[in-house]
Structure 1
């Protein structure tokens, strides 16, 4: 048995001393066995929190994935091993704060927002698609958008939405009859369709065409703000959050489409905690409201879509407000 197999066996047995000795003798902490599992996954699956700590301290990748797209955190979470789960969660949060390896993409890799804005899009009754058959927005999100609208409109007044898409959240916002309803939309075809369908004629609606980064000077102060852009990354969301203190009134409510790492349950939990932590550092509390979505996501929903952008049974709707308002 080679050292990698020995390390996996020691991890399964919860033998921290042997795990450490094997690592010191050159065993590879990122080793995958014949089942596609790492020593960290084995330790997490069986709840050996002490071994999980040892492996992480010696550089075991917390975000490695098994053939079934599960990480060590998923194994701990699914098996109900709370201590091992929390160790992995903290490791993931710390790693993402420093490196941002999962949901952040370096700007040097190209401006995908620009790519999307130059792309042709197609509208149908239940989806908005780009030219590569990737879904920009889909009708299954309607109940989520209605919940977001209810949250950001809870105080009435002046509402801002970044990203029109299919108009699901804006249609819901209109039901609350805000004093003003400002919509920022950057895609020329979506903007054209907005005008064709009468959004520019609504008395309380102001449409601003352009990327939110380019039209900040045209924005005012709002009682409720919703953010849902396509073709951007976590870094763009973080950048928008830096502007919240100037955009959101005291007592206001902010929310955003929480599609962060929607393909993996544990990564999603990591990013829910990460964004909450970063918003707290900016002076905002974040409540994550669980909404079940499993029943509205049958396989037929994704027919004609190149890849699913959501794989989870629960959606966590963020409701953010200034910390002094929540105390």
Structure 2
């Protein structure tokens, strides 16, 4: 650690000041002398946040190269990417974040860990816990929302996307409240397969008559276990609860066998729904990884601000969505027209 300066300020305080003013030469010098780029100042901001807020891309680059965390959060929950309005700085942060997440995947794991029980693997903890049902939501045993009624317009849009080819065979992984499945049924698919792993949700599905619908096939179990029972589909929607980003990545590895040529795949895009910059990072990350499998991804922006009010979250332990816009993913083979 570098020694304090003659001004009485620590090297880290000087680093924050230099970053805020965009003095790249001073920043480089302080870093070479050992100033800590991960430091939080008295306002809870890092040097990178100061550089980003000022739109100083050159300084931001120096700090990132020195190990400054792109995903550090201020006391108000903003990252450096949220604080900048400068295009060059934003693009620099986004590129660095994507490269970091491709290697480490830290943000989604952090969010999944905080959103689910820590008493074991999240999916297993959820599947072994009790759930409660109401007209407005399905809740887990920790008062966290599995699905909520406010999502209905989103689920209708997802159903429209995966059923855009008309008729055919459609797969939905994760029933929840059945919002997307009710919407899918309105398109009268030839075959509608639903995979649900939670025993109480499954029992409720049967009680509501889903097992008796002529074109519906209900498969009980974790998707990882029932994959061999599935066929190929014209449309697929994926929306599980209690799983990590890595679980969705694993599901994507099965898409070449599950999704028919020309078919449409979509998923509930709730990754990092409490931070705008992190959300963009994960939209791009999923698109990159799907591209490696031969799929192109479009994100359709849907305003959701009017769907949510303070009352929406009454009784809910954690707000899993806090953004004004939902980016609905539509994925299909690269060779298919957009």
What TM-score do the two structures reach when normalised by structure 1? 0.97
Map of 1:209 onto structure 2: 220
Contact 2:119 2:125 in 1 (8 A): no
Structure 1 residues 60-99: aligned runs within 5 Å: 60-76=68-84, 80-99=85-104
2:35 to 10, 23, 27: 27
The 2-side partners of 1:85 and 1:163 are apart by 35
Contact 1:4 1:31 in 2 (8 A): yes
2:170 to 159, 162, 185: 159
The 2-side partners of 1:23 and 1:110 are apart by 41
Aligned pair in 2 of structure 1 residues 208, 238: CA closer, same or farther (>3 Å)?
same
Measured after TM superposition, the shift of residue 146 of structure 1 is 0.1
Map of 1:128 onto structure 2: 138
2:129 to 103, 107, 119: 119
Map of 1:288 onto structure 2: 299
Q: How many residues align?
A: 324
1:101 to 89, 96, 106: 106
Map of 1:225 onto structure 2: 236
2:180 to 169, 172, 190: 169
Structure 1 residues 244-283: aligned runs within 5 Å: 244-283=255-294
Deviations 1:253-281 (CA, angstroms, capped at 9, x unpaired): 00000000011110000000000000001
1:234 to 230, 245, 253: 245
The 2-side partners of 1:184 and 1:275 are apart by 22
Map of 1:179 onto structure 2: 190
Aligned pair in 2 of structure 1 residues 109, 234: CA closer, same or farther (>3 Å)?
farther
The 2-side partners of 1:110 and 1:129 are apart by 19
The 2-side partners of 1:262 and 1:182 are apart by 28
Runs of 4+ in 1 over 3 A off after TM superposition: 105-110
Map of 1:140 onto structure 2: 150
What TM-score do the two structures reach when normalised by structure 2? 0.94
- Give the gaps of 5 or more residues in structure 1: none
Contact 2:172 2:237 in 1 (8 A): yes
1:196 to 184, 187, 207: 207
Contact 1:285 1:326 in 2 (8 A): no
Map of 2:5 onto structure 1: none
More moved, 103-112 vs 298-307: 103-112
The 1-side partners of 2:149 and 2:253 are apart by 30
Measured after TM superposition, the shift of residue 326 of structure 1 is 2.8
Deviations 1:209-236 (CA, angstroms, capped at 9, x unpaired): 0000000100001000000000001000
2:310 to 279, 294, 299: 299
The 1-side partners of 2:286 and 2:230 are apart by 23
Contact 1:225 1:255 in 2 (8 A): yes
The 2-side partners of 1:261 and 1:324 are apart by 30
Deviations 1:114-142 (CA, angstroms, capped at 9, x unpaired): 11000000000100001110000000000
The 2-side partners of 1:230 and 1:271 are apart by 17
Contact 2:192 2:215 in 1 (8 A): yes
Measured after TM superposition, the shift of residue 109 of structure 1 is 8.6
SS in 2 for 1:287: strand
More moved, 199-208 vs 105-114: 105-114
Map of 2:6 onto structure 1: none
The 2-side partners of 1:82 and 1:236 are apart by 33
